[in-house]
Amino acid sequence: MLRLDDVVDGRPLAIARIGIGMAGLLNCAESWVVLVKIEARDALTVPTWDGLPHLSPTGAAILMSTGVIGAIFVIGGLATRAGAVALATVLATAMLLEQQTYSNHVALSMWCSLWLVLAHSDARWSLRSRIDGPRDVRVADQFLLMTQVSVVYAFTGLLKANPAFLSGRVIQENSHLDISDQLAQAMALGAVVTEVGLCIGLWFARTRWIAAAAGVALHTSIPIVMYQPLPLVSFSISVVCLYPLFFARRVPVRPQEPDRTGLTSVTA
């Protein structure tokens, strides 16, 4: 079993960083489109708290451009923590200034971006690693992202465990396909079992591959079956890109070696 201070391969965390950045790009674009539509239709502005300022179209463009720049820095792995702060702040600000932009996948993207601030996610497959050389990371760098996976699946799985969803009606009403009652019920039950199973199964070696395969199948089918594919694709990217974290391998710490000055140094 891995401990928080164990040194692990940094490539799974790099995959998570790139996926979070890509999902952030999609969410910034979606939020900007929603804000523009709200302004064009003269819709009611409903901030999360009274007293928050109204966001003009120009302000929305500036805000979302900042988020896009932050997401690009996250993907590229240069000034990653600053980019992650910018991305998380932009997504949180958009949701606070206009409740009509709130969505669970945007909130998930915001939290994942925030957790990147606390991780050395640019240790591999990044512009910084090209400059300073690749490094390994510790389990502690990715632990919050791993727990986020369990939080998401526990919440969504248990929330779906109700008669309305298990009847299949929710899937039929939100799908552009003609799905029979029996198939819709089977899909609903399969979704609940898969999500609850992912909450636990990814943490154990014996069930990890099965859980990951089921998760990939679930997230591949959702955008195909349901309406509004863009938000669902964003949600799927945000979650599936975190799966490799559970497959990170421990890296043995090499023994102390004398350097050219005659002093001993430790490389890890």
Residue 219 has pLDDT above 60, yes or no: yes
**Bridge partners of 7?**
138
Residue 252, pLDDT score = 75
User: Looking at this protein, which amino acid is placed at residue 178?
Assistant: D
User: Looking at this protein, which amino acid is placed at residue 140?
Assistant: A
Residue 104, pLDDT score = 87
Residue 250 main-chain phi, psi, to 5 deg: -65, 135
Residue 137, pLDDT score = 94
Is the backbone of residue 262 left (phi > 0), alpha (psi -120 to 50) or beta?
left
Distance of CA 53 to the CA centre of its chain: 28
Residue 268 has pLDDT above 80, yes or no: no
SS3 51: coil
Tens digit of pLDDT for each residue in 44-88? 566 777 777 777 778 888 999 999 999 999 999 999 999 999 999
Tens digit of pLDDT for each residue in 174-198? 898 899 999 999 999 999 999 999 9
Residue 263 has pLDDT above 50, yes or no: no
Domain boundaries, the chain: 10-137, 139-248
Burial letters 128-165, b for 16+ CB under 10 A, else e: bbeeeeeebbbbebbbbbbebbeebbeebbeebeeeeb
Percent of the chain with pLDDT over 90: 67
Residue 51, pLDDT score = 77
Residue 43, pLDDT score = 60
Distance of CA 49 to the CA centre of its chain: 26
| The two three-digit tokens of residue 207, written as one number | 């069930």
3-state SS, one letter per residue, for 168-235? CHHHHHCECCCCCHHHHHHHHHHHHHHHHHHHHHCCCHHHHHHHHHHHHHHHHHHHHHECCHHHHHHH
> If we measure between CA atoms, which residue out of 213, 221, 161, 225 comes closest to residue 188?
161
In the Cβ-directed half-sphere of 126, how many Cα atoms lie within 13 Å? 31
CB-based contact 77:17 (threshold 8 Å): yes
Residue 198, pLDDT score = 96
Q: Pick 59 or 262 by higher pLDDT.
A: 59
Residue 249 has pLDDT above 70, yes or no: yes
